[in-house]
Amino acid sequence: MAAKAKIRALVAGNWKMNGLKASKKEVVSLGKRLAPKGKTAKRPACDVLVCPPATLIASLKEAAKGTKIAIGGQDCHAKASGAHTGDLSAEMLKDAGATFVIVGHSERRADHGETDAVVRAKAEAAHRAGLVAIVCVGETEKQRDAGETLSVIATQLAGSLPDGLNAKTTVVAYEPVWAIGTGRTPTVEDVAKVHAEIRAILKKRFKAEGEAMRLLYGGSVKPSNAAELMSVPNVNGALVGGASLKAEDFHGIVAAYA
Ligand code: PEP
């Protein structure tokens, strides 16, 4: 039997509603850190993605030219165009230079009432436009305390993931809501348990594609805990909020894969 191909990790930064034109320097700095001049330079053994506010996609794409940094959006509308004031379609993000888009982040689910069905439609829109969809799931603290983590995740995955997925165009991010921006993280045992469950669900529904799909962990990942979290089985990278804003911190997380 042929050896299983190793899943290439992805470290993705979500800048959320942070960043002005001047933030371009962080991507320039990150690019230099990823490919410094000199004999000891080592390319990261993972893919690197920055998802800035949509206003910065085009300029960060320009800043990332010649580097391995991909640029993504943080959300998209399900439709390609139309009367939806203030919204952006996946096609528009692609046109601006994005190759990925995050959908179903817990802040979108909470702030904008996005249901699993809405998230699924957005993931379908991402695929229609030729973007990789990063589909987020995660339990609240109340659900965790009630012992509902695995059932909540299973329900979110069932409702948020479109049928017929392919591992190249979909990434799943497990982000416990209570760990986002709090400095708290689950134990590695808990992360391993949830990721094993997600992998089993994906394999059951999507067969080989589910086996090959990247599963990111997100929630208070920082340089000091990245190596430990990224070494957990079935963790194929990270979705990073606060620590992705500064090139030095974000690179410290990418370095977990050096
Ligand atoms: C996030 O919002 O996706 C996230 C993981 O945030 P933080 O890293 O700041 O916890």
Q: Which of ligand 1's atoms lies nearest the C-alpha of 173? A: 3
Query: Burial level of 64, CB count in 10 A (0-12/13-18/19+)?
Result: buried
- Smallest CA-to-CA distance from 29 within 255, 243, 245 is with 245
**Residue 219 CB less than 6 A away from ligand 1:** yes
* 11 alpha carbon, distance to own chain's centre: 7
CATH of domain 10-16+46-257: 3.20.20.70
Query: What pLDDT is stored for residue 258 in this prediction?
Result: 79
The Cα angle at residue 152 between residues 164 and 177, in degrees rounded to 5: 105
The alpha carbon of 143 and the centre of ligand 1 are apart by a number of angstroms equal to 19
Low-confidence ranges of the chain (pLDDT < 70): 1-5, 37-43
pLDDT for the residue numbered 44: 72
C-alpha distances (whole Å) from 152 to each of 11, 108, 115, 160 are 25, 17, 13, 12
Residue 145 DSSP symbol: H
114 a catalytic residue: no
> Whose CA is closest to 229, among 165, 184, 170, 181?
184
Q: Which atom of ligand 1 is nearest to the CA of 14?
A: 3
CA 32 to chain centre: 22
175 lines ligand 1 (CB under 6 A): yes
Q: Round to whole Å and give the CA distance between 244 and 42.
A: 20
Q: Is 210 in the pocket of ligand 1 (CB under 6 A)?
A: no
- Does the Cβ of 242 fall within 6 Å of ligand 1? yes
Compute φ and ψ for 151, nearest 5 degrees: -75, -35
**Residue 39: its pLDDT value, please?**
38
Q: Which atom of ligand 1 is nearest to the CA of 218?
A: 5
Q: Are 115 and 159 in contact (CB under 8 A)?
A: yes
148/142 Cα distance (integer angstroms) = 9
Nearest Cα residue to 51 out of 122, 132, 115: 132
Q: Catalytic one among 175, 195, 197, 251?
A: 175
pLDDT of residue 135: 99
Q: What is the pLDDT of residue 228?
A: 98
How many A from CA of 18 to the centre of ligand 1? 13
180 lines ligand 1 (CB under 6 A): yes
pTM exceeds cut of 0.85? yes
Residue-level pLDDT at 118: 98
Ligand 1: centre distance to CA 171 (Å): 16
CA 250/CA 218 separation, integer angstroms = 13
Contact 126, 90 (CB under 8 A): yes
3-state secondary structure of 225: helix
Question: Active site includes 105?
Answer: yes
Q: How many CB atoms lie within 10 A of CB 78?
A: 20
Q: Is 30's C-beta closer than 6 angstroms to any atom of ligand 1?
A: no
Helices and strands counted in the chain (H then E) = 11, 8
Q: Is the CB of 183 under 6 A from ligand 1?
A: no
State the pLDDT at residue 35. 87
**Residues 114, 77, 84: CA angle, nearest 5 degrees:** 105
- Residue 164 sits at φ, ψ, to 5 deg, of 65, 35
